Chains A and B, each alone.
Chain A
Amino acid sequence: SAVISQKPSRDICQRGTSLTIQCQVDSQVTMMFWYRQQPGQSLTLIATANQGSEATYESGFVIDKFPISRPNLTFSTLTVSNMSPEDSSIYLCSVEDRKTSYEQYFGPGTRLTVT
């Protein structure tokens, strides 16, 4: 499976600021996704990062709050804008292995704390 890295691995940020998280894959992939995992909860899909076009957001998530870039088939960024303590969470990117029917593989995650 693809090797996925994320930067930063963790950060502590002040409310009102923004943080951009990077996701790098070691091979070209068609589908990349961004998830959030709040403390004690399971994963919630934020959006699908589409290469060359706007991301597809899930209900409850908007582009102004979570802008996403996908400039090529190996890289994507997620920005958490105008942060509040409620944004404290783990943010994970994932890629889909098209050869094996929707199996997704996850990056190590970015642990964000907003104070």
Chain B
Amino acid sequence: RKEVEQDPGPFNVPEGATVAFNCTYSNSASQSFFWYRQDCRKEPKLLMSVYSSGNEDGRFTAQLNRASQYISLLIRDSKLSDSATYLCVVNGQGGSEKLVFGKGTKLTVNP
């Protein structure tokens, strides 16, 4: 089983749609969880950390289910500018600083 697995995508949605990304991780000792976004030919940028109780930042909501080792990201009222690749990221073995990146899910929001 891969350390971090994401929906393969790509996702193509109209503006205003709600879209959800799912991610599973294999290391039950992981303590830190993140969603990054990466625009074409750019570096990854931190979108949000994911906390145990779930957290929301504007149109973005992240959820964590430790029992199922599952993370999700929900984008409401999607904008053209949300088009990017979304990377699920988990810290590695033994709660180390090492981050393990999923392959990413590409999102295209269409007018």
Q: Report A's interface with B, CB cutoff 8 A.
A: 1, 31, 33, 41-45, 48, 58, 92, 96, 100-109, 111
Contact B32 A102 (CB under 8 A): yes
Does the CB pair A102–B43 fall under 8 Å? Answer: no
A86 to B110, CA, bound (A): 35
Q: How far, in Å, is A23 (CB) from chain B's closest CB?
A: 12
Task: Categorize the interface residue count of chain B.
Answer: 20 to 34
For A45, give its contact among B42, B44, B46, B99 (CB under 8 Å): B99
Q: Which residue of A lies closest to B43 (CB)?
A: A106
Docked complex Cα distance between A105 and B46 (Å):
7
Q: Could you show 21 A-B contacts with beta carbons less than 8 Å apart?
A: A31-B97, A33-B97, A33-B99, A42-B101, A42-B103, A43-B87, A45-B100, A48-B98, A58-B98, A92-B43, A96-B97, A101-B31, A101-B49, A102-B91, A103-B49, A105-B46, A106-B43, A106-B44, A107-B43, A109-B43, A111-B41
Contact of A41 among B41, B49, B103 (CB under 8 A): B103
